[in-house]
Structure 1
Amino acid sequence: MLKILGKIGLLVAALAVSAVWLVVLRLKDVPLPLLAAYGLLLVGLVAGLLWPGVLGRASTRRRVLAFLGVPVGLGTLGLYLAVVYYVTDLPVLLALAAAGCLAWAATTVLHGHRAASQTRRAFLTGGAGLVLGVLSGLSVSWVERHRRDALTRSDQPRQAAMRAEGKRSRIADGTVRVFPIHTGDTIVTYGQFYGGLDGWEGLNGYLRTLVDKTQIAVPVYAYLIDHPRHGPMLVDTGVNWEQAHDHDGYYDHNHMVSRLLTQRDEYQMAPEQDLRVHLARLGYDAKEITTVFLTHVHDDHAGGLRYLPRASVVMDRRDWEQGVLYPYSFDLVKDNLSFPAFTSGPFGAFPAGQDHFGDGSLILLPIPGHSPGHMSVLLRLETGSVLFMGDTLYTLPHLATDQVRQTTIGGADTVHQMEAARRIQNLLAADPRTVPLFAHDNTRYQSELVAAAFAQGTPGEAGLRELRTHLESVLTPDWRLRPGHAPRFVPPASGTGVGQVEFR
């Protein structure tokens, strides 16, 4: 009985590991028919090794390995090399091969095989192991050189964009300026972006993001603030060039799990979308940025910190202590962090806030939920105010929280996020001269109206009024969507790839 229970336990554990591996392969876009066939082979192999008789009376574990183990092994290696392998794995793979050869040779010798053929095989296999071990050591420097060369080649278009004609001259006339900075796009599932009311919540929502392939591309925005008293600042920093063009290498600074559970094409960035290029084209240098207000620590908002080692980074302490997933983005600024205390008293619908400079020009508002210490930033202009939303609400239609919602963490975090959304609604309703600015808005509000209003950094009273007019054309006073503004997924024409979002 104990033996049977032990085998059942091994079967369950093996199937669990296999299921995780199949999810990883699905995340890497392996076709479902191929996954199904491969999965059946895995199940057959595990069951056959534990109960050889299930494959016929004449079956033995050796026959199971020959007829199922070899195809599974080759299939696993092939799938790994096709969809997961990255050049930095080469030294590890060579080292594993070396260890395998040496182990086989040592086993043969220790078992005392005296046949000449066995001795010769052990000698050749051990020699191959030594050669592979040496190649593993030598390949480390080659791999790093290969990565650097590849990044240098990919960086050449960015350098050309930096030098291209059409740079602006920086204007210093005592006016607060705000410039939207589009730092590329991120590929997400439609449900992750718009399915929060359709079951995309908590663990279930996270698992669906791993296997669902109804994908869309959404923009990633940071915002440059040029303040006459406080200097050039950023709200968020977007993604960086390495995240988009050396994704696997960038996330290997942490561990392979990061690489396995993310897509290597999750970020797309044209040369002119690089943060450094944007700043240079606007007449600024990344070294001039004095302060970064980080709405939250997720990597599509913090990646650009790699370019800003001199900036003071202001974020909620809870996010730093509980929310950081990829510390590498923070390596150059971790000694320059500043944590607001939120002791300036209530601000409108918000029970607490922080007047960061003490002159009322910029207010930090805690809105946890999307992350443990998410915050928004309110900046006062001469003609009104702008509210930088971060990710509490992705787009203008998301202000209709009972109709449009992104995936949420679930439980108390979802409750907190919706409370924050209602506070934002109340703040916008109380001041018609305040406009929201989003980090991922994929509607014409961002691509056309915000782009036009802030093209010179100063929207003026007319620009802010036009943005509010559009807001009121999309949303009713009680924060419901007007007809024609509900999102709908449009599959790609080819049947595979990235789809579109249309509003009806």
Structure 2
Amino acid sequence: MIKVLGKIGLLVSALTVAAAWLVVLRLKSVPVPLLVVYGLLLAGSVAGLLWPGLFGRRSTRRRVLAFVGVPAGLGTLGLYLAVVYYVTDLPVLLALAAAGCLGWAAAALLRGRRRAGGSDTRQTRRAFLLGGAGLVLGVLSGWSVSRVERQRREMLARREHQRQAAVRAPGARRRVADGALRVFPIHTGDTIVTYGQFYGGLDGWEGLNGYVRTLVNKAQIVVPVYAYLIDHPRHGLLLVDTGVNREQAHDHDGYYDMTSRLLSERDEYQMTSQQDLRVRLARLGYDAKEVSTVFLTHVHDDHAGGLRYLPQATVVMDRRDWDHGVLYPYSFDLVRENLSFPAFDSGAFGAFPAGQDHFGDGSIVLLPTPGHSPGHMCVLLRMDEGGVLFMGDTLYTLPHLAVDQVRQMTIGGADTIHQIEAARRIQNLLASDAGVVPLFAHDNTRYQSERVLSAFAHGTPGKEGLRELRAHMEAVLTPGWRLRPGHTPHFVPAASGTGWGRVEFR
């Protein structure tokens, strides 16, 4: 009985791992029919090795291994090489193969000695052949380390040459040093997301169900990733978020380890040479080394990737995000000693029960808006003409302010409640101060592409620019935070049936 229960436990564990692997493969766009066949092979090999009799009276574990296990193993290797393998894995794979051959050789040698008193020539020959193969593979593993590293360095050198060329291209601006406060939207590339993740929060995209749907649903759209540069006359050069970095977009598999690669898509980020954060700053007349402070709305990698270019900057973020929200730590490697965690002890700020007057002069107020991440925060910048509220991912776009009609995917449970509460507080803040305009990190509407980029083209929108942004907001949203006709998002698949879809507002 105990033996049977043990086998059942092994079967359940193996099938759970296999199911997770199949989900990963679906994330990598492996066709469903292929996954069905491959899944049956996996299940059959596991069950057949535990209970060979399932395949007939004459069935043995060796036959199950030969006719089901070997195809399943080859399928696993083939699918791994097709959708997960990256050149930096080569030394590891060779080392594993070497260890397997050496282990097999040792087993063959011991088996030969047991069977014939140490004189089984066939087993001895097999052991030496396998041992020799293991040694060769081990040498190849060591040799490949330097080759792989050299290939990676050459690739990065090519990207750096392209970046330098983008910096030197005609049309760069000169920095204006007239003491005015300036804000510049910095488009640092794009990210590929499922439409439901972006707009489906009221259609079942919530919690675990939402995450599973992001893995298997291929109705995808392209949305921008924005950071914001603040040239402040008293506090220097500041950034709100940093966008993605070049390696995330062009060397995704090399930037992330194998586990992270399993849970993400190779083309999740797109970036031209001109969209590199350092290039964008240089083209505006600034140097990334001058940035003194980064206000990180949250720790997700599409907001923190550019930190690798800012090792000198103080990074201000909510401690809850640092303690509980970091999924991929690589972006933070160079700034770990420069983190600053606000206490949010400056008292209430409008509908917000707590806030942080960061510089003590009211110029920048940090507002906690947890939900999208444990310690998400918004940043309010006070200007002479009004104010700018940097939203991060509390709300993705201007239509998302109609939170009862348009909602992004939420984590579920208390986190969803907190995120909706944060949205209500933001509505209250915007309603109570007509001089404040929202700026978003991923807005894919005309508000960002036309109004915001026009108003902040030179960094100084003035009262008229802020007034025009508010007028556009009021043309999209009613005073009760409902969408006016013509502004409800709808997914439109790609015309060819492949590639990424788009969003229409009707």
TM-score range, shorter chain: over 0.9
User: Which residue matches 1:43?
Assistant: 43
Question: Structure 2 counterpart of 1:376, which letter?
Answer: C
- Determine the C-alpha separation between the residues in 1 that align with 2:256 and 2:245: 12
Cα displacement string for residues 4-56 of structure 1 (whole angstroms, at most 9, x for unaligned residues): 32222222111111101101111111111111111111122122222222222
The answer for unaligned runs of 5 or more in structure 1 is: none
Q: Which of 366, 378, 381 is the equivalent residue of 2:380? A: 378
Alpha-carbon distance between aligned partners in 2 of 1:32 and 1:494, rounded to the nearest angstrom: 20
What is the alpha-carbon distance in structure 1 between the residues aligned to residue 72 and residue 322 of structure 2?
43
Q: Secondary structure at the match of 2:417?
A: helix
SS in 2 for 1:232: strand
Q: Is the 8 A contact 2:186 2:280 kept in 1?
A: yes
1:14 paired residue number:
14
Contact 1:235 1:292 in 2 (8 A): yes
| 1:381-405: CA deviation from partner (whole Å, max 9, x where unpaired) | 2211110001000000000000111
Partner of residue 246, structure 1: 251
| 2:33 is the alignment partner of 1:28 | no
Moved more, 325-334 or 403-412: 325-334
Report if aligned partners of 1:241, 1:269 keep a CA contact under 8 Å in 2. Answer: yes
Aligned-partner SS, 2:188: strand
Taking the aligned partners of 1:59 and 1:204, their CA distance within structure 2 comes to 41
Contact 2:180 2:232 survives alignment (8 Å): yes
Distance 1:110 1:118 in 2: 9
What does residue range 254-333 of structure 1 map to in structure 2 within 5 Å?
Answer: 256-333=258-335
User: Which residue in 1 is equivalent to 2:350?
Assistant: 348
Give the structure-2-normalised TM-score.
0.97
User: Residue type matched to 1:147 in 2?
Assistant: R
Assess if the C-alpha contact under 8 Å between 2:112 and 2:123 holds in 1: no
**Which amino acid letter does the alignment assign opposite residue 215 of structure 1?**
Q
Give distance in 2, aligned partners of 1:433 and 1:90: 57
How far did residue 273 of structure 1 move? 0.4
Residue identity matched to 1:211: V
* TM superposition shift of 1:482: 0.8
Identity in percent: 80
Does 1:211 find its partner at 2:209? no
SS at match of 2:112: coil
The superposition leaves residues 464-496 of structure 1 with CA deviations (integer Å, 9 ceiling, x where unpaired) of 111111111111110011111111111112222
Assess if the C-alpha contact under 8 Å between 2:248 and 2:269 holds in 1. Answer: yes
State the Cα distance separating 1:63 from its structure 2 match.
1.2
| Cα contact 2:111–2:123 (8 A) shared by 1 | no
CA distance in 2, matches of 1:348, 1:141: 58
Is residue 229 of structure 2 the alignment partner of residue 224 of structure 1? yes
- Kindly provide the amino acid, as one letter, of the partner of residue 494 in structure 1: S
Equivalent of residue 128 in structure 1, options 125, 129, 133: 133
Deviation digits for residues 58-95 of structure 1, max 9, x if unmatched?
A: 21111111111111111111100010001111111101
- The alignment status of 1:189 with 2:194, answered yes or no, reads yes
SS in 1 for 2:501: strand
Residue type matched to 1:375 in 2? Answer: M
More moved, 215-224 vs 151-160: 151-160
- Residue identity in the other structure for 1:146: Q
Q: CA deviation at 1:240?
A: 0.4
Residues 147-181 of structure 1 show CA distances to partners (whole Å, capped at 9, x for unaligned) of 11112223332221111011101111121100000
- TM-score, scaled to structure 1: 0.97
1:426 alignment partner, one of 412, 425, 428: 428
Contact residue 151 and residue 245 of structure 1 kept, 8 A:
no
Question: Matches of 2:23 and 2:54 in 1, distance apart?
Answer: 27
* Cα distance in structure 2, aligned partners of 1:327 and 1:47: 39
In 2: Cα distance, 1:265 partner to 1:274 partner: 16
Maintained 8 Å contact 2:112/2:120: no
Shift of 1:120: 2.3
CA apart distance, 1:115: 4.1
What are the ranges of 5 or more consecutive residues in structure 2 without an aligned counterpart? Answer: 114-118
| Deviation, structure 1 residue 454 | 0.4
1:407 aligns with 2:409: yes
